[in-house]
Chains A and B, each alone.
Chain A
Amino acid sequence: MWIFLITEIMFFGGIFLTYTINRSLYPVVFGEASRELNVRMGGMNTAVLIASSFTMAMAVWASQTGKKKQLTLFLMLTLILGGVFLGVKYFEYAEKFHHHLIPGRNFQFPGDVGNRAHAQLFFSLYFGMTGLHALHMIVGAGLLLWLVMGSLRGRFTPQYNTPVELVGLYWHFVDIVWIFLFPLLYLIDRH
């Protein structure tokens, strides 16, 4: 599992690198564009995701100690918190849509043509990075659903809980990606 996560680190690492280079090339426009993001929703989602990582860790604990009811409960809580994250993300995307901040024909941003082009670059990276992260969340939610069904059938015991542990590793990894996305996209040009 860790080897797979390393390939994921490389995958996201390249995209983070692209973002960093472009941000250092166009710091002013990226700052302006960054202030368009809804930092309240982003901050709330960070808390939601951390809470879901905690419930996932507790699910691993429950599976290791043979607490089957608690395992189902914690898996479901994790799934619900993941759903809340994706729901908030939907409202954020909808807000960008209404403000004409989707890169493309109808993109609107104050300033000259060059300004607009660089702001589009920011929003392309924003949607690319958060979209890819959301896609990972959707995959994770599917895996959690699978675990909940297994847990309801009492499949996981202190002797056999590797699926819970591995999905846990994956879920925490997705949390870590967001831990870096949130400050980089929303925060560093806030003041």
Chain B
Amino acid sequence: MKAGRRGVSEHIVSRGIYAGIGATLLIFTGITYYAATVDLGPFNVVVALTIATFKASLVVLYFMHARYSPRRTQLVIVAGFFWLALLLGMTLSDYLTRAWQHI
């Protein structure tokens, strides 16, 4: 990078990485599409969400540069997902254990 006012933290991700990540995302879209046509019982949800989480991680890490971000930014991202996990985890552990409601 040319000398500029932006400091040392900026990292330019190469075009090759972007292309590789984009292709991987498309391939996994195809995989999740076909996985949905196979009856895996309760595991259809698991497979679909695992693939979605994997794809989202790639987008966050590479397209959104989280992998090359300063520690402070990474902390904000992790904290955000931590609170989301609390929200989902605690609410669902309540709802899904209400056996008397025959869920």
* Contact residues of B between 77 and 93, Cβ < 8 Å to A: 77, 79-81, 83-84, 87-88, 91-92
Cα(A143)–Cα(B45), bound, Å:
35
Q: Are A176 and B77 in contact (CB under 8 A)?
A: no
Cα(A66)–Cα(B12), bound, Å:
12
Separation in Å of the B65 CB from the closest CB of chain A?
8
Cα(A54)–Cα(B22), bound, Å:
6
Q: Which of A18-26, A93-101, A107-115, A116-124 faces chain B? A: A18-26
From A10, A168, A182, A191, B37 is in contact (CB under 8 Å) with: A191
How many CB-defined contacts (below 8 Å) exist between A and B? 134
Q: Are B29 and A50 in contact (CB under 8 A)?
A: yes
Counting chain B residues whose Cβ lies within 8 A of the other chain, the interface size class is 35 or more
Q: Are A21 and B95 in contact (CB under 8 A)?
A: yes
Chain B proximity mask over A65-85: 1 for CB below 8 Å, otherwise 0? 110000000000000000000
- Chain A: residues with CB nearer than 8 A to chain B? 2-3, 5-6, 9-10, 13-14, 16-17, 20-21, 24-25, 39, 43, 46-47, 50-51, 53-54, 56-58, 61, 64-66, 158-159, 168-169, 172-173, 175-176, 179-180, 182-184, 186-191
